[in-house]
Structure 1
């Protein structure tokens, strides 16, 4: 990255690369599948298309404006750029993580909404929906995703993968990991012959959502 780039941009790019590498190390993507982005003002830093994450360095930063016009770097942005830009245009998110996590993708082929098998759904804003299938990289997929994300911070993409967003990359990634775990849990519980997993009610989930407002450490 050029020395003229602000430190905030350089730092955000490092976090994008670190998160992309983490998604591969945790088995949420294979090869160069999936993508990660972070927003700094009106600039969106996003992983490039078809480049292994372990080869990315400071000089490989890729940045686009909210209109999709590339303003930083020579590598071509991910083909899923419409997904990322749609999230930034329609929400106050500052980070987006898209993966092909195995269990979540499997569930995306089975249901239109992830069953409420655990209160972890509250971390994502409620029952996680599955966006209707559309080819990757298309405006149609971005539109379907936006519908599924309404009131949520994550969704499944039918026969494809996951999308989560957050105020930081750490938060977006944590939501991705929770979504994959939730889907793995439901698949595991659902394979016992003759039995079906018990599910939480919406009232029980709402109770958890309220309790989570006071979860964690107080900010001093």
Structure 2
């Protein structure tokens, strides 16, 4: 392994920041989970055995798209094949894998998370549950890649969840949204049979969102200096 700790320094720090944010939100527990971001043919990814809620940039490893370590001193996550597979197949920019409590709970009982709220359309609608396979195996990676087809998120049966997006911030937001939606489903199912948005209602939401620029964030304009 190389000791080139300067490789992708900004991205390594961003991965560490993302892990601490997810840890503070309760989506990353102990060493369970992993996060990565891609820049060209390099990927900054969490190291195996790291306590993610306390992660530092030095605990983020840099690999190429073949999985060879090119930066950092630590061994990358055991789910590296999954991360690299998402990058190769979908050309995405960042991947987040968590053992978030509600997502993990639903992954143990559902075959899919239905589209019960229009915000799930940000993830592609219905969230598939990838069949179970042992962690860190090519079988698991392939199972999850199939479940992600046309989606920004998937549940992993009896395991957890994975999200991806163009940017790391978006992938984190997807993970937070997925956990929220899983919680909503769990609460609704405890009260009765959750209603599911059909295709017509989903199309109407998309049309309304496009017409109203819904979901686009706008930065707060800088304060104007008071004129004297």
Q: Could you tell me the TM-score, scaled by structure 2's length?
A: 0.88
Large movers: runs of 4+ above 6 Å: none
Whole-Å Cα distance in 2 between the matches of residues 76 and 171 of structure 1?
Answer: 26
- Cα RMSD after superposing both structures: 1.9
Corresponding residue of 1:21 = 20
1:104 aligns with 2:122: no
Length, aligned pairs only = 214
Corresponding residue of 1:180 = 179
Whole-Å Cα distance in 2 between the matches of residues 19 and 49 of structure 1?
Answer: 16
Mean CA deviation greater in 210-219 or 148-157: 210-219
Check whether the contact 2:20–2:54 (CA below 8 A) recurs between aligned residues.
Answer: no
Q: 2:201 aligns with which of 201, 204, 208?
A: 204
* SS of equivalent residue, structure 2 residue 162: strand
Mean CA deviation greater in 124-133 or 60-69: 60-69
Check whether the contact 1:163–1:176 (CA below 8 A) recurs between aligned residues.
Answer: yes
* SS of equivalent residue, structure 2 residue 169: helix
* SS of equivalent residue, structure 2 residue 95: strand
Aligned 1:63-102 pairs, distance under 5 A: 63-102=62-101
Aligned 1:31-46 pairs, distance under 5 A: 31-46=30-45
Whole-Å Cα distance in 1 between the matches of residues 106 and 160 of structure 2?
Answer: 9
Q: Could you tell me the TM-score, scaled by structure 1's length?
A: 0.91
Whole-Å Cα distance in 2 between the matches of residues 162 and 103 of structure 1?
Answer: 10
Deviation at 1:127, TM superposition (A): 0.8
- Of structures 1 and 2, the larger Rg is shown by 2
Whole-Å Cα distance in 2 between the matches of residues 189 and 105 of structure 1?
Answer: 17
For structure 1, the residue ranges without an aligned partner over 5 or more in a row are none
Check whether the contact 1:66–1:85 (CA below 8 A) recurs between aligned residues.
Answer: yes
Whole-Å Cα distance in 2 between the matches of residues 85 and 128 of structure 1?
Answer: 21
Whole-Å Cα distance in 1 between the matches of residues 53 and 22 of structure 2?
Answer: 12
After superposition, the C-alpha distances for 1:50-100 in whole angstroms (9 at most, x for unaligned) are 012365434444111111111111100001111100100011211111001
Q: Cα–Cα, structure 1 residues 217 and 60, in superposed 2: closer, same or farther, change >3 Å? A: closer
Check whether the contact 2:113–2:127 (CA below 8 A) recurs between aligned residues.
Answer: yes
